[in-house]
Amino acid sequence: MKLRSLHRTATLEFYFPDYSSKLDLPFYDVGISAGFPSPADDFIELTIDLNKEFIKNKDSTFFAKVKGHSMKDAGIYDGDLLIIDKSLEPQNNKIAICQIDGEFTVKRIRIEKDIVWLIAENEDYAPIRVSPENEFMIWGIVTNAIKTF
């Protein structure tokens, strides 16, 4: 979790509050005097919010379902759900959703001078060389894959 610092003093640090997603906090009613206080009271942490962990730019995040096996060595299998951030800049070696000649595909991108290679993570598939004749666009960068067992 990234916190945005607001102000820092010698003893205290302040942060901007972040209300971007709903967080259900555990509710502890300690009561006033009856019984023993719970020994866990001092150790209450926030619950884990997956939206916050995996979605950094909510307005440019999209999901896609995978069909096929060409990325199996990268750990992307048939049926996985991909989390895609469209706002991220394409970088060498990132896994990207690309549009090539009117079709979607997912590949690792290698950017060389004037050439882009789309590299499958499966030895049965040859790398694809993107040439100026291809209608090509990098649609978004894959940040995570969700698997269901």
- The nearest distance, CB 72 to other proteins, in angstroms, is 9
| Residue 70 is among the residues annotated as catalytic for this protein | yes
| Residue 86 is among the residues annotated as catalytic for this protein | no
Which residues make up the interface to other proteins (CB under 8 A)? 57-60, 62-71, 76, 81-82, 86-87, 97, 99, 102-107, 120, 135, 137, 139
Strands 128-130 and 115-119, by their bridges, are antiparallel
CA-to-CA distance for 140 and 148, rounded, in angstroms? Answer: 23
CA-to-CA distance for 21 and 28, rounded, in angstroms? Answer: 21
CA-to-CA distance for 126 and 143, rounded, in angstroms? Answer: 24
The first and second tokens of residue 68, run together, are: 């096929």
- The nearest distance, CB 32 to other proteins, in angstroms, is 35
- The nearest distance, CB 40 to other proteins, in angstroms, is 33
Residues taking part in catalysis: 70, 107
